[in-house]
Amino acid sequence: MKLFATDLDGTLLNRDSQISRENAEAVQKAQQAGMKVTIATGRVYSDVVAISRQGGIKTPIIGSNGATIHDENGERLFHLPLERDTAASVMQWLEDEHIYYEASTQMGIYAAISTHEAMLAELERVLGSKPGEDIERMIHSIKKHYNKKDYHRVKNHLEIPAEACIYNIMAFSMNPEKVQAGREHFSSRSDVAMVVSFEHNFEMQHPDVSKGNALTKLAEHLNISMKDTAAIGDNFNDVSMLQMAGLGIAMGNAEPEIRAMAKAITHTNVEHGVAHAIYSLLEGKAIAPIETIVSEGQ
């Protein structure tokens, strides 16, 4: 394989939202061997840069579920934001329904104060019910996210600067009924593409945006055939790149549907599944420690 694309949350990152030493070393060894590695995530570009630096790696970055592509030096190669009127209608609906959202832009993340307050109330109710350790860890990570310097609270979407390119609108709720209502509402619209990256969210982006399309554009930029690409992920926003890459690899902790459609399965993110997949590719071995699935196209 000449190009390896990895999702971030639930894939390259461990439970503490960090890149493990094992994964970082594997990425570095792949690069030393001549393999290109890229991160493909729903997160905004600036957020990924900070995480990558902390983890000690430097790669091209496919951000906002494929709405942006930057090379390893930070030069933007491609972007495709939502139409402004479309984005406004999405955010207005979420504000009316009191569903928290984050609008990802090149100027940072914007959130409406009213929906932010509704989200904090939801989180406090969940914490008060004494949830499991994984839920508590997720909630504390979310609250930490709110204190980042590029996180901006605005009265409503009308206060987002006109020059901001809105690449992705991520809606989040701990209320399953709100999540289901939002998914049903936006999945029926043709002016946005809706994807899901974990249990409590749904995200809206330009209809032509996907991780798979972005991987194709990056491969073309690098003069690499798609049959020589591999992609790894754990959730539904990874489906397009797992299907379009020469080899689609599911994490051991991936959703059952993702595991079923992948050509290979690696270890979980806690067990450094990305590192295992990279080393298997470098050594020309099949990737299937969890289930007997023989990878193709190696």
Helix (H, G, I), strand (E, B) or coil at 180: helix
CB atoms within 10 A of CB 255: 19
Q: Identify whether 7 is a catalytic site residue.
A: yes
- Do 261 and 248 contact (CB within 8 A), yes or no? yes
Q: CA 204: distance to chain centroid?
A: 13
Question: Out of 7, 9, 47, 234, which one is annotated catalytic?
Answer: 7
Tell me which residue of 66, 9, 8, 59 sits closest to 30, measured CA to CA: 59
Token look-up 């959202």 returns 101
Which residues are registered as beta bridge partners of 3?
Answer: 36, 229
CA atoms within 13 A on the CB side of 113: 6
Cα distance between residue 101 and residue 116, in whole Å: 8
Residue 252 in tokens: 């051991």
Q: Which residues are catalytic?
A: 7
